[in-house]
Chain A
Amino acid sequence: MHVNFLDPYQDGSSLVHQADARVKLVLTAAFILTTALTPVAAWPVYVLLVALAFAAELLSELGLGFYLKRALLAAPFVLAAVPLLFTVEGETLARLPLGLTITSAGLDRFITIALKSWISVQMAVLLASTTSFPEILSAMRALRLPRLLVAIIGLMWRYLFVLADEAMRLIRARQARSGIGEIPGRRTGGQLAWRAKVTGGMAGSLFLRSLERSDRIYAAMLSRGYDGEVRSLPHPGISPGGWTTLAVGLVILASLLLLGHLL
């Protein structure tokens, strides 16, 4: 059983898929920064940001439904902002039992945070779905991320699915030996402490196997000429179309930011 369903990249040939990864990375970061800097309750700007996000998603030809589903990931965290409804000073909107009152300023803050979060997650999903991870990594390298860190992350990505398969095998072995937790109506799995110890053993085993595997990988790399220096092909320059997209995108975001602060 393989776990490549973990890779969020969706293959396609839309305009967004074909755009330069560096342009996409910078625009995504700029978009998220613009969203973060837009003031509370600047509703027209938020509407425009959502429209922009939807437009980009439609361009990627993956369907709005796909994005809306993935964007729900951040939803549970919104609970952390709920107290704002009651604590921010302002005119009262509603009175609740226990002496709590919802203020309009609190509602503004809460909805702003929820919107910012929702919009930002959508852009992050857009980036991850239209850009394969090796492309993202080489874009980060082009944007001056330390070569060593990029090399470590790159190797991690290559072995992630191999080790995830290994973890799945460990889990399956535990299941086959009745180590699972609860079957309704049956006594299973032993004490909590025993279950924790078994899982700990699995984690330790995974760690040790990985350590020894890394030694073998290192030996294999050595015997193929590895000398500690991780080299990569030079990056081609960004095409004129790429520069135009970048410029247009940044101008749009800057004007939205300005609009937000003028409102």
Chain B
Amino acid sequence: MLTNHLAMHIPDGFLSVTVSLVMWVLSIVFILIALQRVNRDLREREVPVMGVLAAAIFAGQMLNFTVAGGTSGHLLCAALASVLLGPWAAVLVMTSVVSVQALVFQDGGLLALGANLFNMAVIGPFVSYFIYKLVKAAARGANWGIFAGGFAAAWFSIEAAALACALQLALSGTSPANLAVPAMGGIHALIGIGEGLITLGALSFVLAARPDLLKHSQTQAGSSRPVWVGGLLITAVLAALSPLASAHPDGLEWVAEQAGFSSAAEAPGYEIIPDYVFPGIANEAAATIVAGIAGALIVLGVALLAAYTRKRRSMS
């Protein structure tokens, strides 16, 4: 049975203690922020609403549909929760679901819970929110934006969570990155389609029955910070894809080797991140990923700086 449960909830013993603890710290930070935000927005309604919706998502993960032969698709629901409730409430709801899955049903380890929470309760909601907003903005208010956005949000949230899971396994030395990333990424690309289809169906139902819910979620959360966080997360994920970028020499290098003039190239005068591998990290795949992330952050920083200085110049 092709269930994304077993595939993404990491049991104990597979992550190094360092990775587990770092993930715990990150998750706790995001959960505390989410508690604060939801408290401010919902106040005393939050316990009944969050609690019941968490139960709904838990129960909803029992809904399945036959894909082909003996396989069936299941839901993770981070995207649905994020679209209907906003990212912060979705964080809390998914936290409850994933924690109880680990504590009570041993779906995922207890030490590894930090990492599982980060993948499914932080990355899931944030990436899906960001993608949903992006697609809806592109559709400029047309209804197809909601449907396409929902599908894309669901697919990307599953894929991003799976890639993060593969990264954690690789950094712990449990699975080599050049195997884990394509394996997890590939399997979840398929699972994500199922999740996307169900999310699509659910959103069209909600649009027909309670369109006010979808309009309401638009006016919430005017701040663009979740967008940045989500965007950064996506960039990090794309960086994780970089080991897939084949280690085969790229076009020009290949031609150079064939024609025999590759030795004519001089070594560069200085090397900050030589050959896209971060100096000082032994595992080459992990090093590539870190280099990708560092590169993306540098580019983002420069872009922000450029936007800031341009704004300053246009104001003066």
Contacts and interface: CB of A to CB of B under 8 A. Distances in A.
B206 to A, nearest CB: 5
A28 B111 CA distance: 10
A149 B80 contact: no
A170 interface: yes
A217 B45 CA distance: 10
B99 A153 contact: yes
Nearest to A226: B44
Nearest to A222: B44
Interface in A179-205: 180-182, 189, 192-193, 195-205
Secondary structure at the A interface, as helix, strand, loop or mixed, is helix
Interface in B63-97: 63-69, 72-73, 75, 77, 80, 84, 92, 95-97
Interface residues of B, number: 78
Interface range, A side: 35 or more
Nearest to A153: B96
A24 B221 CA distance: 41
A158 B54 CA distance: 11
Given A120-B110, A163-B56, A181-B65, A200 B200 contact: yes
B91 to A, nearest CB: 11
Contact of B100 (A153, A215, A227): A153
Contact of B55 (A159, A198, A221): A159
Contact of A167 (B13, B43, B59): B59
Interface of B: 6, 10-14, 17, 20, 31-32, 35, 39, 43-56, 58-60, 62-69, 72-73, 75, 77, 80, 84, 92, 95-97, 99-100, 102-107, 109-111, 169, 174-176, 179-180, 194, 197-206, 209-210, 213
Interface of A: 6-8, 28-29, 32-33, 35-37, 70, 73-74, 76-77, 80-81, 83-84, 87, 113-121, 124-125, 127-128, 133, 136, 146, 148-149, 151-160, 162-164, 166-168, 170-171, 180-182, 189, 192-193, 195-211, 213-215, 217-218, 221, 226-228, 230
